[in-house]
Structure 1
Amino acid sequence: MSNSIADQSWLHAPATRDVIDMLEHEQAGSARFVGGCVRNALFGEPVNDIDIATQLTPQTVLAAARKAGLRAVPTGIDHGTVTVIARGEPFEVTTLRKDVATDGRRAVVAFTKDWSEDAERRDFRVNALYAAPDGTVHDPTGGLADVEARRFVFVGDAETRIREDYLRILRLFRFSAWYGRGELDEIAFSAAKKLQQGLRDLSAERVWSETKKLLGAPDPRKIVQLMSGADLLKTLYGVNGSLRVFDGIVDQDVQSGLAPDSLLRFVALADGGPERIKTMAAKLKMSNAEAGRLQSAVDPSAEKDLKAAFGDLAAAERAIMALGAQAFEDQARLAAAGEVVPPPRDWRILADYARNWEQPDFPVTGGDLILMGYEPGPMLGDALDELKAHWVSERFEPSKQDLLDRLKH
């Protein structure tokens, strides 16, 4: 396993060098890259965020950045983090730390100049790899061996690391889903199973954020199956869900080259009707948009037409009108994923049909009915609904005059 990431283009980018030069000018040898950027570089995976660890205090970083003409924002200064912006790009610069106290959700930290102390408070050994400005990798905990094996091993004692922050259980599965190969580290998995009740003490926002990242992995089926077998899904969400439907949705993504859709995958896993989804959305404190998407995906109002849509495009049109294009596509995919025998029409045809279908404008308005003598109120609304249902059933062909004549008769 290489102990250098000197070949990484981001390492030599002008914005990166601006920040490193600023820190090194203040104190030589005070800055190293750390965490995901080093890990992903060694894995051969894309690097999206660049984190830098430093021996300098946050106040020194702020002053040095201003002196160098860089913008600096104290985004997490109590925990040692300053966001430095160079050439429009943000870099998180964090002072080396050691934990003073932890409660399973947050930590009280003290600053240090010791790289080993900073490494010992990190979650996994592959996340405790540091790279000097020239790309040389420093490995205080044995993470390079884990990079080669593509596994995630806790720094030090696994149970201790988890008790410091129970979200590390979900991070174990999330990182393994994204980057792991082979079996999970046995000690890490055993500790996660043993201490899973600690997940109940985490904020709903943290759990939901980590859930979306986990389900957004290209193919998380193996990891989700392990979580289900260890009752972790039930601990987190109250149900173990349907692995069959979930597997079917992921298989659709893999086979069709679709981008992973965390929300649709969660609906598949939850395997419930509107009330269950509503309860889960509230428990996890989803946004209104997320909760709306999930509830529309299980809306039963067009169930008959949805079933018929796999063999009848007229039924598909009626279902799209009732549900909306996104909900129709979601429901078609879920229905196909749950079928043991494939339906007569491929879900991809229906999904493409929904994406390209343009809803015609209903030609009759309430004003038209008022001109015919209707009074504003429930009777007028019922008449409009009846006309619209007939118009949809006739595939939008009746004209305005046809519909008004129907009403007269």
Structure 2
Amino acid sequence: MTERLPDAGWTSREDLADLVTALDPTGEGNCRWVGGVVRDTILGITPKDIDMATTLLPEQTMERLTAARIKSVPTGIAHGTVTAVVAGGPVEITTLRRDVSTDGRHATVAFSTQWQDDAARRDFTINALYADPRTLEVFDYTGGVADLAARRVAFIGDAHARIREDYLRILRYFRFQARFGSLPADTAAESAVAELAPGLKGLSRERVGWELMGLLALPDPAVSVRRMAELGVLREVLPEVLPEGIETLDALIAHERALGLKGEAVRRLAALLPADPAVAETVAARLRLSIAQRKRLICAARRGGISGDPRVLAYRIGLEEARDRLLLAGLPTASLDGWAIPVLPLKGGQIVARGVSAGPQVAAILRMVEDRWVSEAFPGDARTGELLDEVLGHTSGTAG
């Protein structure tokens, strides 16, 4: 029985039909949907990206797009990738390829006209699926459809060989296992990732960081993270993680789920790490996290000692940062929902207008009023004015 993609919103998009017509006007079958868009559609998941594979050379792809007045961008033309800019979003179109040589980080490829060549160089069977854009017939050269049905993440061919082509596939394995897989996991895959895990040290920090954060952002990465630790993979990329960090991550994810909250990768990374800002700083630098992610991770590492109104904490350190600390401590966060951090309704100029000389004393009075304003749960203008009167009365009495 021929496998076909189920009906999905994207399969009937007019802009995609125009794209197919531009590339394959005579129906010779020189282009197919490929990878995640096919996999996700089979599973009933709305795909994030739409990718296409083609037998056309990149220059031919661009020529045909230009002739059809479809904007094209040579985003990776040396590797065969051209991006078509259509109404529904960009579509990456890549010429079929076969690997010539690999060094564990990058592959040297040659263009091909054989779909099997292109499938053989991909990582997992569930990612090597193709679909005819007109008939939606699925082409499966590696057993990916059966593996999807079994929720099995398996390397194409020899797992050791696939990993040696690019060691990042070890981390990709666990990300896909967390998203699509089930237990027991594929034994050949697990054996290979455990044996070849030291090869992760040769990868760029950015690539490792991107994969780790992608894994931690999934709905429930806990089982995969624990398995990474058991197989010796986690220590190669996050040697700072102690056994209790795995337990903290488990508890955090359970707490997020109980509260109906979406998981955050930075918060979950903080759960794995010791509550030590210096460790957080080191990990953030190694994984090349953004400035915002680094600050949030370090802030979460200062967790502990939470008491009183959570809104006070949020006012002091930020809403998301406070939510991180509360969740890591297993506390509720409902008081922060829909709440915006208020602004102190008092400026230094108002204090100067009351006869205080501009300078350090104004800042000190402002801080005193702010502390009392926060302790009283952020009252309005009238009460803030009273607080200023009280502080000024106290300071003038002290000065006298």
Same structural fold, with TM-score higher than 0.5 when normalized by the shorter chain: yes
Residue aligning to 1:167: 168
| Cα deviation 1:201-260 (Å, max 9, x = unaligned) | 111111111112211211111111111222322211222241222112211232232222
Specify whether residues 256 and 394 from structure 1 end up closer, same or farther in structure 2 by C-alpha distance, changes over 3 A only.
closer
Match of 2:293 among 275, 290, 295: 290
Residue aligning to 1:356: 339
Structure 1 residues 268-277 or 26-35, which shifts more? Answer: 26-35
Residue aligning to 1:37: 37
**Does 2:273 match 1:270?**
yes
Assess if the C-alpha contact under 8 Å between 1:332 and 1:351 holds in 2: no
Taking the aligned partners of 2:2 and 2:210, their CA distance within structure 1 comes to: 33
Taking the aligned partners of 1:253 and 1:222, their CA distance within structure 2 comes to: 16
AA of the residue aligned to 1:56 = L
Residue aligning to 1:343: none
Q: CA RMSD in A?
A: 2.3
Specify whether residues 181 and 286 from structure 1 end up closer, same or farther in structure 2 by C-alpha distance, changes over 3 A only.
same
| Cα deviation 1:61-112 (Å, max 9, x = unaligned) | 0101111111111111111011112235211111010111111111111001
Helix, strand or coil at the partner of 2:48: coil
TM-score, with structure 2 as normaliser: 0.89
TM-score, with structure 1 as normaliser: 0.88
Taking the aligned partners of 2:345 and 2:235, their CA distance within structure 1 comes to: 46
Assess if the C-alpha contact under 8 Å between 1:26 and 1:64 holds in 2: no
Taking the aligned partners of 1:238 and 1:214, their CA distance within structure 2 comes to: 17
**Does 2:247 match 1:244?**
yes
Residue aligning to 1:324: 318
Deviation at 1:374, TM superposition (A): 5.2
Gaps of at least 5 residues in structure 2 are: none
AA of the residue aligned to 2:334 = I
Helix, strand or coil at the partner of 1:199: helix
Specify whether residues 23 and 368 from structure 1 end up closer, same or farther in structure 2 by C-alpha distance, changes over 3 A only.
same
AA of the residue aligned to 2:371 = A
Assess if the C-alpha contact under 8 Å between 2:97 and 2:110 holds in 1: yes
Helix, strand or coil at the partner of 1:322: helix
Deviation at 1:181, TM superposition (A): 2.1
| Cα deviation 1:30-86 (Å, max 9, x = unaligned) | 111111111112222221211111111000001011111111111111110111122
Residue aligning to 2:392: 404
Taking the aligned partners of 2:145 and 2:187, their CA distance within structure 1 comes to: 18
Assess if the C-alpha contact under 8 Å between 2:369 and 2:387 holds in 1: no
Assess if the C-alpha contact under 8 Å between 2:365 and 2:392 holds in 1: no
Helix, strand or coil at the partner of 1:271: coil
Helix, strand or coil at the partner of 2:25: helix
Helix, strand or coil at the partner of 1:126: helix
**Does 2:82 match 1:82?**
yes
Structure 1 residues 235-244 or 47-56, which shifts more? Answer: 235-244
Specify whether residues 359 and 406 from structure 1 end up closer, same or farther in structure 2 by C-alpha distance, changes over 3 A only.
farther
Deviation at 1:276, TM superposition (A): 0.9
**Does 2:190 match 1:205?**
no
Gaps of at least 5 residues in structure 1 are: 337-345
Deviation at 1:318, TM superposition (A): 3.7
Residue aligning to 2:5: 5
Taking the aligned partners of 1:94 and 1:360, their CA distance within structure 2 comes to: 51
Helix, strand or coil at the partner of 1:210: helix
Structure 1 residues 123-132 or 82-91, which shifts more? Answer: 82-91
Residue aligning to 1:340: none
Specify whether residues 41 and 375 from structure 1 end up closer, same or farther in structure 2 by C-alpha distance, changes over 3 A only.
closer
AA of the residue aligned to 1:274 = P
Structure 1 residues 153-162 or 256-265, which shifts more? Answer: 256-265
Taking the aligned partners of 1:375 and 1:23, their CA distance within structure 2 comes to: 71
Specify whether residues 177 and 380 from structure 1 end up closer, same or farther in structure 2 by C-alpha distance, changes over 3 A only.
same
Assess if the C-alpha contact under 8 Å between 1:124 and 1:153 holds in 2: yes
Assess if the C-alpha contact under 8 Å between 1:58 and 1:81 holds in 2: yes
Deviation at 1:386, TM superposition (A): 4.5
Specify whether residues 145 and 394 from structure 1 end up closer, same or farther in structure 2 by C-alpha distance, changes over 3 A only.
closer
Taking the aligned partners of 2:255 and 2:185, their CA distance within structure 1 comes to: 25
Deviation at 1:394, TM superposition (A): 4.8
Match of 2:260 among 243, 257, 262: 257
Taking the aligned partners of 1:87 and 1:348, their CA distance within structure 2 comes to: 40
Deviation at 1:362, TM superposition (A): 5.6
Assess if the C-alpha contact under 8 Å between 1:151 and 1:181 holds in 2: yes
Taking the aligned partners of 2:155 and 2:184, their CA distance within structure 1 comes to: 15
Residue aligning to 1:54: 54
- The alignment-based identity, stated in percent, is 36
Deviation at 1:26, TM superposition (A): 6.5
AA of the residue aligned to 1:232 = V
Taking the aligned partners of 1:231 and 1:201, their CA distance within structure 2 comes to: 16
AA of the residue aligned to 2:206 = E
Specify whether residues 264 and 232 from structure 1 end up closer, same or farther in structure 2 by C-alpha distance, changes over 3 A only.
same
Structure 1 residues 125-134 or 151-160, which shifts more? Answer: 125-134
Deviation at 1:287, TM superposition (A): 0.8
Assess if the C-alpha contact under 8 Å between 2:274 and 2:301 holds in 1: no
Taking the aligned partners of 1:328 and 1:228, their CA distance within structure 2 comes to: 29
**Does 2:380 match 1:392?**
no
Assess if the C-alpha contact under 8 Å between 1:231 and 1:240 holds in 2: no
Assess if the C-alpha contact under 8 Å between 2:311 and 2:336 holds in 1: no
